[in-house]
Amino acid sequence: NAGVMQNPRHLVRRRGQEARLRCSPMKGHSHVYWYRQLPEEGLKFMVYLQKENIIDESGMPKERFSAEFPKEGPSILRIQQVVRGDSAAYFCASSPPITGNKINEQFFGPGTRLTVL
């Protein structure tokens, strides 16, 4: 049973380029979360998605950032026209469908480390 997979693990982009980060949730998981972690900082929530739906994107910057979780394929976090301040570790987490009031554990992928030159 493969865990959460993220690729690429490391991504280098020049300012102004686009970055695409992919996340494949664990089998049977229908919920995906994206987080950003800056050096010496905590994890900051960005967006919460279910298949074909953005449930909560309150943590996403209003410009340049977008996310999707299509019916088929991985979830994608897309950053357009990257700037140096976008350099960070981006983690994806997945969880099973929520049942009743039970909040399920989130399983994290290994992260993508984005470096903007």
Partner 1 sequence: RKEVEQDPGPFNVPEGATVAFNCTYSNSASQSFFWYRQDCRKEPKLLMSVYSSGNEDGRFTAQLNRASQYISLLIRDSKLSDSATYLCVVLRGGSYIPTFGRGTSLIVHP
- Where does this chain bind partner 1 (CB under 8 A)? 31, 35, 41-45, 48, 55-56, 58-59, 89, 91, 98, 103, 105-111
Put the strands of the sheet holding 19-24 in their side by side order. 5-7, 19-24, 75-79, 65-68
Distances (CA, A) of 42 to 9, 28, 74, 82: 19, 28, 25, 21
Write down the least CB distance from residue 58 to partner 1, Å.
7
Closer residue to partner 1 (CB): 12 or 18:
12
85/101 with CB nearer partner 1: 101
Task: Identify the bridge partners of residue 3 per DSSP, sorted by sequence position.
Answer: none
Nearer to partner 1, 84 or 102 (CB): 102
